[in-house]
């Protein structure tokens, strides 16, 4: 029985991709560390209070993960833009989508501008949370889709007679 289990585990180990092994090892490590972190956090809350502890934890998490998040964002952003443009081109080939887009796009642009204005005003008034809220890059989005708009032509719809 022990030999069969060993053979099964070896076969599974051989077939599982290295990325899956790495992620599962990281998950196990995080699960082992979680109780230690929770105890330390509870002790800090008792010592310093809820607001100060939450603020300190938020700052340390932001400081620790911001560089990695920026690097990840920079590497995936061009691909995300390409996918969005490709999806937009495909949707524009549908019979009624261009008409729907003529109504929805200006509304989305208006809402995005209002959101951006609100975030900027909150930052000017000194609200800390606004520094964590990203602005919608409306100029960049409109430029990307304006450049692509000239290349896209809708498919003609010919119903069966």
For the stretch 101-146, pLDDT in tens is 888 888 888 999 999 999 999 999 988 888 778 888 888 888 877 7
What's the whole-number mean pLDDT along residues 12-23? 73
Residues in the chain: 161
Spatial separation of the C-alpha atoms in residues 146 and 143, rounded to whole Å: 5
The pLDDT of residue 156: 52
Ramachandran sector of residue 17 (left: φ over 0; alpha: ψ -120 to 50; beta: rest)? beta
Q: 72-95: per-residue pLDDT in tens?
A: 777 777 887 788 788 888 888 888
User: For the chain, what are the domain ranges?
Assistant: 14-48, 59-93, 98-145
Round to whole Å and give the CA distance between 138 and 160: 41
Predicted confidence at residue 53, as pLDDT, reads 67
């Amino acid at each position: 029985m022990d030999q069969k289990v060993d053979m099964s585990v070896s076969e599974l180990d051989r077939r599982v991709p290295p990325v899956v092994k790495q992620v599962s090892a990281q998950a196990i490590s995080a699960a082992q560390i979680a109780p230690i972190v929770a105890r330390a956090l509870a002790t800090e809350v008792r010592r310093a209070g809820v607001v100060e502890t939450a603020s300190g934890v938020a700052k340390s998490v932001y400081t620790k993960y911001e560089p990695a998040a920026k690097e990840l964002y920079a590497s995936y952003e061009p691909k995300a833009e390409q996918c969005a443009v490709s999806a937009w081109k495909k949707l524009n080939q549908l019979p009624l989508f261009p008409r729907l887009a003529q109504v929805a796009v200006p509304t989305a642009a208006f809402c995005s501008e209002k959101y951006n204005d609100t975030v900027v005003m909150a930052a000017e008034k000194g609200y800390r949370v606004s520094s964590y809220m990203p602005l919608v890059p409306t100029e960049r989005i409109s430029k990307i889709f304006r450049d692509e708009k000239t290349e896209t032509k809708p498919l003609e719809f010919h119903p069966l007679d």
